[in-house]
Structure 1
Amino acid sequence: MSDAADGTAALVGATGGAGTTRLTVELGTLLANDGRDVCILDAAFATQGLADYLSGRLDPDLTALLTDDADAPLSDGVVDFSLDSDGGRLACCPAAAPFERLARAKSPAAAQAFESRVATAATTFDHVLVDTPPVAANQAVAAVNATDRTVLVAPAATRGRDAVQRLSDRLADLDVDIDGVVSTRGELAVADAAVPETDADVTAAPTCLADSSMATAVATVADIAVDATPATEDGRGLLDSVGDLVSG
Structure 2
Amino acid sequence: MVETDDGERSIVALVGATGGAGTTRTGIELAATLARDGRTVAVVDAAFATQGLSEYVSGRIAPDVTALVTDDPNEPIPSATVELSDARSPLDDEAQRSFGSVELLPAYAPFERLARAKTPAAAELFEELVEEAADAFDHAIVDVPPVASNQAIAAVTVADTVVAVTPADDHGTDALVRLRDRLADLDIPVDAAVAVGGDPRSVEPSTADSQTVDLSLPETDPSPCDAPSCLEDDRYGEALVELAESTFGVTLSIEFEATGVRDRVAAALTDRVGSNATVGSNATDSS
Q: Same fold (TM over 0.5)?
A: yes
Distance of 1:242 and 1:36 partners within structure 2: 18
Matching of residues 190-209 of structure 1 within 5 Å: 190=206, 192-209=214-231
Asked if residue 5 in structure 1 is aligned to residue 3 in structure 2, the reply is yes
Asked if residue 65 in structure 1 is aligned to residue 68 in structure 2, the reply is yes
Aligned residues: 234
The root-mean-square deviation of aligned C-alpha atoms, in Å, is 1.6
The structure that has the greater radius of gyration is: 2
Flag structure 2 segments of 5+ consecutive residues without an equivalent: 5-9, 89-95, 207-212, 259-287
Distance of 1:243 and 1:223 partners within structure 2: 19
Distance of 1:56 and 1:4 partners within structure 2: 34
Is the 1:29–1:90 contact (alpha carbons within 8 Å) kept by the matching residues of 2?
yes
Distance of 2:67 and 2:114 partners within structure 1: 9
Matching of residues 7-46 of structure 1 within 5 Å: 7-46=10-49
The aligned amino acid for 2:234 is S
Distance of 2:236 and 2:78 partners within structure 1: 30
The aligned amino acid for 1:5 is E
* TM-superposed deviation, 1:158: 1.1
Flag structure 1 segments of 5+ consecutive residues without an equivalent: 233-237
Is the 1:36–1:88 contact (alpha carbons within 8 Å) kept by the matching residues of 2?
yes
Q: Which residue of 2 aligns with 1:105?
A: 117
* TM-superposed deviation, 1:72: 1.6
* TM-superposed deviation, 1:199: 3.2
TM-score normalized by structure 1? 0.90
Distance of 1:43 and 1:116 partners within structure 2: 13
The aligned amino acid for 2:51 is Q
| Match of residue 145, structure 2, among 111, 125, 133 | 133
Q: Percent identity?
A: 49
Is the 2:45–2:105 contact (alpha carbons within 8 Å) kept by the matching residues of 1?
yes
- Please state whether the residue corresponding to 1:192 is helix, strand or coil: strand
Asked if residue 180 in structure 1 is aligned to residue 202 in structure 2, the reply is no
Which string of whole-angstrom CA distances, capped at 9 and with x for unpartnered residues, describes residues 98-121 of structure 1? 111111111101100010011111
Report the more deviating stretch, 70-79 or 114-123: 70-79
- Please state whether the residue corresponding to 1:97 is helix, strand or coil: coil
* TM-superposed deviation, 1:243: 3.7
Matching of residues 54-93 of structure 1 within 5 Å: 54-82=57-85, 83-84=87-88, 85-86=96-97, 87-93=99-105
Q: Which residue of 2 aligns with 1:235?
A: none
Deviating beyond 6 angstroms after TM superposition, the runs of 4 or more aligned structure 1 residues are none
Q: Which residue of 2 aligns with 1:229?
A: 251
Which string of whole-angstrom CA distances, capped at 9 and with x for unpartnered residues, describes residues 130-174 of structure 1? 001011100000001111000000001111000100000111111
